[in-house]
Copies of this chain bind each other. A is one copy, B any other.
Amino acid sequence: MSNAGDGTIGVGMVGHAFMGRVHSHAWRTVHHFFDVPQAPRLAVLGGRDLERTKAAAAKLGWEDFETDWRALIARDDVQIVDICTPGDSHKDIAIAALEAGKHVLCEKPLANTVEEAREMAEAAAAASARGQRSMVAFNYRRVPALAVARRMIADGKLGKIRHVRAQYLQDWLSDPDAPMAWRLRKQEAGSGALGDIGAHIIDASQFVLGEHLAGVSALTETFVHKRPIAGDPDGRLDDVTVDDTALFIGKFASGTMASYEATRFALGRKNSMRLEVNGEKGSLAFDFESMNELSYYDGGSPDETAGFRRILITEASHPYAGAWWPPGHIIGYEHTFTHEVFDFLTHIGDGTDPAPSFADGLQVQQVLGAVEASAGNESRWTAVP
């Protein structure tokens, strides 16, 4: 596969809803702030509906569009396929793209089932041997504060880790009259809060700690079983077929105790993805609603001056942050995606595999599977394979 030749690399993106909008911004922006081997070219946008896809391509800055993702994959001006569709189509698109020799960036969770994820991970491993790169879009790894957290833990600044508590709290379903959406149908979304936002805290906590969950005990619940179909003139209701919340407790292989909660019913918490880590030498706390901040307790400080400090993660010494603005000038949600495509382009240029790989995506899927298995079996302890 050859690149565009003009120093750019062609991107074909499937899907133009929320994730498509933010990925488009990242592809448009990355090379103006970061040094990348090849600047991305927004070659082709893929969607199902011709008029809506055409309009989205114009608004989001894509040169061309296709209404059949197979046609998009087949195009010579596409070297990277970026998958921004619901989970039920990830496997087919990703495997076809990999078979067509493309690099693949795929939104999370990797798939709707462990089995699908396993097939995708196998295809990605085979493609890697052919020089193609694959990555799952767990964008929270690219929040500078969480990248700092990982670095501090890897450097031993926290010592042995005792506790992790991870929560992803939103409230957009708190109102029982909030309308039905694809994210509430098992067929399309795989699961509910668990896969949508629970997957993020599973990945982020394992990323920050640098190790994997050994097992879990779980409860899931659906609070609202029927929701109105948006715009339906007869006011009909549709069935919610996924969990509204997932709570689980678990252990890491090293003995770290962990608790997780994912919900979209935490009224007042808009996008509160929180992570706390307590180690023998230090502790960290993070909340995505204040994503430019990391709270750090240094156990080595004398008692008199010890305390959680609010580090503003906007220093040139912080990962990614130096590419943006002077200290104290914060960045936002979409920057995490810009960082993500920066890393992806860098690995494509280097010929090395980026993380999180599809194998990492499979592992998260296995945790999701263990949570569902435990919740379906009297919350019994369930090992993660």
Interfacial chain B residues near A301, Cβ < 8 Å: 309
Nearest residue, chain B, Cβ from A265:
B162
Whether B328 contacts A331 by the Cβ 8 Å rule is no
**Docked complex Cα distance between A282 and B268 (Å):** 8
A305 touches B (CB below 8 Å): yes
Chain A 256-278 interface 0/1 with B at a Cβ cutoff of 8 Å (1 = within): 01010101011111111000101
A378 touches B (CB below 8 Å): yes
Whether A328 contacts B289 by the Cβ 8 Å rule is yes
A-B contact pairs, 14 of them (CB 8 A): A18-B325, A25-B29, A162-B263, A174-B280, A217-B217, A221-B255, A247-B259, A249-B379, A270-B327, A271-B326, A291-B330, A302-B317, A331-B332, A378-B381
A225 touches B (CB below 8 Å): no
Nearest residue, chain B, Cβ from A223:
B162
**Docked complex Cα distance between A249 and B296 (Å):** 27
Interfacial chain B residues near A234, Cβ < 8 Å: none
Report if A308-B265 is in contact (Cβ < 8 Å); known contacts: A32-B59, A332-B332.
no
**Docked complex Cα distance between A250 and B379 (Å):** 10
Chain A 286-310 interface 0/1 with B at a Cβ cutoff of 8 Å (1 = within): 0011111010111101111111111
**Docked complex Cα distance between A276 and B167 (Å):** 12
Whether B325 contacts A329 by the Cβ 8 Å rule is no
Whether B278 contacts A267 by the Cβ 8 Å rule is yes
Q: How far is the CB of A293 from chain B (nearest CB, A)?
A: 8
Name the one of B218, B263, B297 contacting A268, with C-beta atoms under 8 angstroms: B297
A111 touches B (CB below 8 Å): no
Report if A271-B327 is in contact (Cβ < 8 Å); known contacts: A249-B249, A263-B163.
yes
Interfacial chain B residues near A288, Cβ < 8 Å: 328
Q: CB within 8 Å of B: which of A225-260?
A: 245, 247-251, 255, 257, 259
